[in-house]
């Protein structure tokens, strides 16, 4: 049962296409799990469509139709969503992973691994985090807003338990200490505003979440 959803403003920006691309990946992945939010987005798309029909129209050049007609027979690459390798995962995550090969897990701490995702943008760090069963993550905070989406398993922190599909937003400076459930590892998608680059060997030890740059 999903208890944590993106708020209205995030969904509005997603529907309008103005939400940052990195954050849109997290919203899109949440929709994979959440029928309720899919419907919310449908309604918002409908508002966008109404605005489209309500706009003051601007005539197009006389030859535009001919130009388009002439291109209709050119073969267009068919968009066929690849058969998902793992139906459980949101399709967008599957797509990213299939493009870059398997997830390359990097060791961060004894109970935490991370795999960066290549998403073609620099503004947000997009990564998978895997907490070992029963493992806990050192108390940490973030430079920027962090979105976490539980993809598999569950974890808890001071404020509650989060299960598959739960969508969490933490603002910069909010400190938390996640703990994976005892019986299974927890995999989360994490989207964090890219930090100012920190250097120095101790930064990584102090805070593993500050140490990587988006690809």
Residues that bind another protein (CB under 8 A): 8-9, 12-13, 15-21, 24-25, 27-28, 31-32, 35, 38-39, 41-61, 64-65, 67-69, 71-72, 76, 78-79, 81, 83-84, 90-92, 95-96, 99, 118-121
Q: How far is CA 105 from the centre of its chain?
A: 18
**Least distance in angstroms from the C-beta of 131 to another protein:** 26
Of 82 and 133, CB closest to another protein: 82
Q: Tell me the torsion sign for CA atoms 14, 36, 3, 189.
A: negative
Measured CA to CA in angstroms, residue 161 lies from 1, 109, 143 at distances of 11, 22, 24
Q: CB neighbours of 165 closer than 8 A, spacing ≥ 6? A: 2, 30, 32, 33, 34, 149, 150
- What is the rounded distance in angstroms from the CA atom of residue 147 to the CA atom of residue 161? 16
């Amino acid at each position: 049962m999903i208890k944590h959803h993106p708020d209205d403003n995030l969904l509005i920006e997603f529907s309008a296409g103005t939400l940052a691309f990195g954050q849109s990946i997290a919203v899109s992945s949440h929709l994979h799990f959440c029928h309720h939010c899919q419907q919310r987005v449908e309604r918002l798309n409908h508002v966008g469509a109404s605005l489209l029909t309500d706009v003051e129209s601007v005539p197009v050049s006389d030859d535009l139709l001919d130009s388009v007609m002439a291109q209709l027979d050119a073969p267009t690459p068919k968009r066929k969503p690849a058969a998902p390798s793992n139906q459980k995962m949101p399709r967008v995550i599957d797509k990213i992973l299939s493009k870059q090969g398997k997830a390359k897990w990097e060791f961060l701490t004894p109970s935490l691994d991370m795999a960066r995702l290549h998403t073609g943008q620099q503004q947000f760090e997009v990564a998978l985090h895997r907490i070992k069963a029963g493992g806990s993550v050192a108390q940490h905070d973030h430079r920027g807003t962090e979105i976490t989406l539980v993809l598999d398993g569950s974890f808890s922190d001071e404020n509650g338990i989060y299960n598959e599909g739960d969508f969490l937003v933490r603002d910069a400076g909010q400190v938390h200490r996640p703990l994976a459930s005892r019986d299974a590892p927890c995999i989360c998608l994490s989207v964090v505003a890219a930090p100012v680059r920190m250097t120095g060997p101790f930064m990584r030890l102090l805070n593993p979440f500050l140490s990587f740059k988006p690809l």
